[in-house]
């Protein structure tokens, strides 16, 4: 837009002001990722009471009030338009919401040309019950993860997510507790912010789609969860917040975060980017001798190592992958994980350990 004054991209700062107006001042294509926790437009009518008539601490702040769905839709279109502009071409956006607003935001995202990659269900392990007993307990919120457009080469740290999930592929339903206990920030004995998100949720979001040094924008910064987790994971943040009290809380919170000294601990190398190590290299470098007997971890199948890097079982001969598949009568097999070699007497270890050892020597 002609005449628009751009703000210099100051990292690890909280910009005070209206989210849309402050985003308009940021340079185009300047941030790697956005996490947005916008107003939910909860449409509350009257007070929410527990069975004992005590009042539930619900979200009834002015910033969550909109006079109509049309007004909320206009607001969503406006901030998402600016979010798309400030994202780098391969950047991605995460937005969280409830049934009150997430479907309307999803429509806006697609209308603007964002490309939806996943919807993530945050299943709360300790949700607030439905006190009136007139509906199901609202036990989840939805995150939409999308790239800037259909052709964006977005980042997904698949191996990090798999490692976080005990070496199983991470699913799109995340069981995590709501923010409570010592993590919940309080002021004068009450919640400092009504919708403070748990750090575990932001940990997954940031670890999944950014790398150390990336810039993450949070246009609805609140109590600063995005900034706190970004700093712990070696990322940069830019927060936008209009409430002075929330800014004070967020600054104090983030100031207490200590970044890890060893930055190498903040990344998970992708297996696809690691150098290919043929099984035969283990044999020629003496990590496995010809004649060494390999087993599956239950010792139901066995094969011997040949000098040329192939293996031979009672009925089959070939690569570690081919023979592993044949002995199981399977279509395919990851031989590095299937075959094990003897260590310390009767114990077995996967041959992949030897591959990793050789990789570290080559690096």
Query: What digits encode the pLDDT tens for the residues 28-86?
Result: 999 999 999 999 887 555 554 444 555 545 455 564 578 889 999 999 999 999 999 99
pLDDT bracket for residue 116 (50, 70, 90)? very high
Poorest-confidence range of 178-182, 217-221, 271-275, 321-325? 271-275
What share of the chain has pLDDT > 70, as a percent?
A: 91
Q: What is the model's pLDDT at position 52?
A: 54
For residue 188, the SS3 value is coil
Residue pair 74/127 in contact (Cβ under 8 Å)? The answer is no
Whether the predicted pLDDT of 97 surpasses 80: yes
Q: Report the chain's mean pLDDT, rounded to a whole number.
A: 90
Other beta carbons within 10 angstroms of residue 227's beta carbon come to: 27
Whether the predicted pLDDT of 228 surpasses 90: yes
Q: Rounded distance, CA 31 to CA 11, Å?
A: 10
Cβ contacts of residue 318 below 8 Å, gap of 6+? 310, 311, 326
- For the segment 218-236, the average pLDDT, to the nearest whole number, is 97
- For the segment 182-203, the average pLDDT, to the nearest whole number, is 91
Residue pair 312/303 in contact (Cβ under 8 Å)? The answer is yes
Strongest mean pLDDT among 44-53, 130-139, 207-216 = 207-216
Q: What is the model's pLDDT at position 67?
A: 80
pLDDT bracket for residue 159 (50, 70, 90)? very high
pLDDT bracket for residue 1 (50, 70, 90)? very low
Q: What is the model's pLDDT at position 5?
A: 60
Q: What is the model's pLDDT at position 290?
A: 96
Whether the predicted pLDDT of 190 surpasses 60: yes
- For the segment 233-246, the average pLDDT, to the nearest whole number, is 96
Q: What is the model's pLDDT at position 49?
A: 46
Q: Rounded distance, CA 228 to CA 226, Å?
A: 6
Whether the predicted pLDDT of 311 surpasses 80: yes
Helix locations, 286-343, DSSP H: 320-328, 335-338
What share of the chain has pLDDT > 90, as a percent?
A: 73
Whether the predicted pLDDT of 221 surpasses 50: yes
pTM: 0.75
Going from the C-alpha of 259 to that of each of 14, 183, 208, 229, 304, the distances in angstroms are 18, 18, 19, 10, 48
Whether the predicted pLDDT of 265 surpasses 70: yes
Q: Which two tokens stand for residue 165?
A: 């999930």
């Amino acid at each position: 837009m002609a005449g628009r004054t751009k703000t210099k991209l100051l990292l690890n700062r909280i910009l005070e002001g209206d989210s849309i107006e402050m985003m308009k001042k940021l340079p185009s294509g300047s941030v790697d990722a956005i996490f947005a926790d916008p107003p939910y437009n909860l449409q509350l009518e009257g007070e929410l009471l527990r069975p004992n008539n005590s009042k539930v601490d619900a979200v009834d702040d002015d910033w969550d009030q909109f006079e109509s769905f049309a007004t909320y839709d206009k607001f969503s279109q406006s901030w998402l338009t600016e979010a798309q502009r400030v994202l780098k071409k391969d950047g991605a956006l995460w937005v969280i919401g409830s049934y009150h607003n997430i479907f309307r935001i999803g429509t806006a995202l697609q209308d603007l040309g964002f490309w939806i990659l996943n919807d993530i269900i945050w299943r709360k392990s300790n949700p607030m019950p439905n006190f009136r007993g007139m509906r199901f307990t609202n036990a989840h919120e939805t995150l939409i993860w999308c790239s800037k457009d259909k052709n964006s080469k977005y980042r997904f740290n698949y191996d990090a997510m798999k490692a976080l999930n005990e070496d199983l592929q991470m699913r799109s339903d995340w069981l995590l507790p709501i923010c409570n206990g010592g993590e919940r920030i309080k002021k004068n004995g009450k919640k400092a912010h009504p919708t403070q998100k748990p750090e575990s949720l932001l940990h997954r979001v940031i670890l999944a789609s950014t790398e150390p040094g990336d810039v993450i924008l949070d246009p609805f910064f609140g109590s600063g969860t995005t900034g706190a987790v970004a700093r712990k994971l070696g990322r940069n943040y830019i927060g936008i917040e209009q409430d002075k009290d929330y800014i004070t809380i967020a600054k104090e919170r983030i100031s207490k975060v200590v970044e890890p000294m060893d930055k190498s601990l903040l990344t998970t190398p992708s297996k696809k980017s690691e150098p290919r190590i043929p099984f035969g290299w283990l044999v020629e470098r003496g990590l496995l001798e010809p004649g060494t007997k390999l087993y599956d971890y239950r010792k139901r199948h066995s094969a011997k190592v040949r000098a040329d890097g192939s293996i031979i079982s009672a009925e089959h001969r070939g690569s570690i992958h081919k023979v592993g598949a044949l002995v199981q009568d399977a279509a395919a097999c990851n031989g590095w994980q299937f075959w094990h070699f003897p260590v310390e007497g009767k114990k077995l270890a996967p041959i992949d350990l030897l591959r990793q050892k050789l990789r570290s020597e080559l690096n």
